[in-house]
Amino acid sequence: MLNRFDSIFVVLLLWTVYAETEKVDAPPVSLGLYYESLCPYCRQFIVGQLWPTYSHLSVVMNLTLVPFGNAQVTKDGDKWKFTCQHGPNECYSNIVQTCGLFYITSTKTSLNFIQCISAADEPWQAGEKVHTEEIQDQAQNDLFDLICETYKGEKPSACNVTKRKPYTSNHV
């Protein structure tokens, strides 16, 4: 007889096997997110749009995360000086996240790491290195649909779900 944790493991295992067998017949949609680690809007986007979208559509996404955002870099003698829009704590958080992304080789694990930090505490590109205000607005309102619409192959089954409950978080 399976206990509660065995049942959860079996469901997760089946979900993982199913997700890996999803048909992919076109290049993935590339999304590069340049974000500020302490920016409330970036954190809200990561937690409310990016993380749930990637959780369902990772098979058709090529994701790059860059925790740098609106930082400024200047040379001061032999050293580099970083200035972040939201202060020194943001620069420190950007460094911590950059180190995490360097050592975590799985995109899924990397995003889980960043989402965890963002939930407890903009320039980006969607599509084939295309950025417009319209794409940015659509991504901020419904990244899930934007990725489904932009992907040129046969849509993953998650795209065919007509009703999705929007993800909301009280942490951000």
List the domain boundaries for the chain.
Answer: 22-160
What angle do the packed helices 107-120 and 88-103 form, to 10 degrees?
160
- For domain 22-160, the question of CATH label 3.40.1710 is answered with no
Q: What is the pLDDT of residues 51-93, one digit of tens each?
A: 999 999 999 999 999 998 788 889 999 998 888 888 888 888 8
Burial 139-172 (b: 16+ CB within 10 A, else e): bbebbbebbbebbeeebbebbeeeeeeeeeeeeb
Q: What is the pLDDT of residues 30-57, one digit of tens each?
A: 999 999 988 889 989 998 999 999 999 9
What is the DSSP code (8-state) at residue 155? P
> Which tokens go with 75?
């040379």
Q: How far from chain centre, in Å, is Cα 3?
A: 33
Q: In degrees rounded to 5, what are phi and psi of residue 66?
A: -135, 100
